[in-house]
Amino acid sequence: GDTVFLLAGTHLINANVAVPTGVSLRGEGEKTVITSTSLAQEWNTPILSLVSSELSDGNQRISHLKFDGQSLTAAQAIEIKRRNNVEIHDCTFVDFRYVAVLWYGDGGFVGGDPYDEAYPPEKYATGNKFHHNLVSNCSAYTYFGYGALWLGGQEGMQIHDNSIIQKQRGSNQNGYCIKTYGGWMRGLKIFNNYLETAGNEWLFAIEGFFFMGCEIFNNEIIGAIDVNFSWKDNYAFGLNIHDN
């Protein structure tokens, strides 16, 4: 139930920080900068880790902070795994090499190749929200497209009122704004966002797999939506894209 308040200034963090459940972080907006010059590997080097060994109630918020990747030096700002009820809002993410936030539920990477032997997670993460954030130049295209916001195994997640722009890199080097990590999204709502991508042959602002009861609406999107495999399950629809 504690909140850690970070004062204005630049906080240079060169070793991964594990944030326990129940602990929230709050800064003073753009004046509170979290950055790294050494956490640069492609996988498993986020600045902050909100990771549990089994699905747990996070009951925590990360807010009013600026995460700076030091001109694509740092790989990733945040990783969240196996936690419910985590909220990221009123944050800025700029210039991370691969991804701003990797956020997935139970079961790890649920399906290596989405077209081959994909399987759902045993349990879905619930109650998570990403809203009122600014994300700029935080996803790469290497041998595949990353997502600035990279998601998997979520139920009822809300993504709204964000600006995610990925057009700053050269041809075929820009990743996607929002992408599913393996996929398997239930009751996801993506709404009231500004999404823009460019400089890649695919031009995907949103790419994802395995949708049940998901909705994409009231967004301004410069780029394409690429969605694969949807069905109703217990919802009224599999995937509803409208009023964008």
**Residue 101 CA: distances (Å) to CA of 104, 192, 201, 216, 243:** 10, 19, 23, 20, 27
Estimate to the nearest angstrom the gap between the alpha carbon of 172 and the chain centroid. 21
Query: What long-range pairs does 220-225 form, CB within 8 A, spacing at least 24?
Result: 220/193, 220/194, 220/195, 220/244, 221/195, 221/196, 222/195, 222/196, 222/197, 222/198, 223/177, 223/195, 223/196, 223/197, 223/198
Amino acid 118: pLDDT: 75
Q: Do 125 and 146 meet the contact criterion of CB atoms below 8 Å apart? A: no
Distance, CA of 42 to CA of 39 (rounded, Å): 9
Other CB atoms within 10 Å distance of the CB of residue 117: 8
Per-residue pLDDT tens digits of the chain, which is 244 residues long? 999 999 999 999 999 999 999 999 999 999 999 999 999 998 889 999 999 999 999 999 999 999 999 999 999 999 999 999 999 999 999 999 999 999 999 865 555 555 666 778 888 999 999 999 999 999 999 988 999 999 999 999 999 999 999 999 998 999 999 999 888 999 999 999 999 999 788 899 999 999 999 999 999 999 999 999 999 999 999 999 999 9
The Cα–Cα gap between 164 and 196 comes to: 7
Single out the residue of 152, 179, 155, 177 nearest to residue 164, CA to CA.
177
Q: The tokens of 73 are what?
A: 């030096």
Q: In whole angstroms, give the CA distance from residue 51 to residue 38.
A: 21
> How many whole angstroms separate alpha carbon 81 and alpha carbon 119?
18
Question: What pLDDT, on a 0 to 100 scale, did the predictor assign at position 127?
Answer: 98
d(CA 242, CA 171): 30
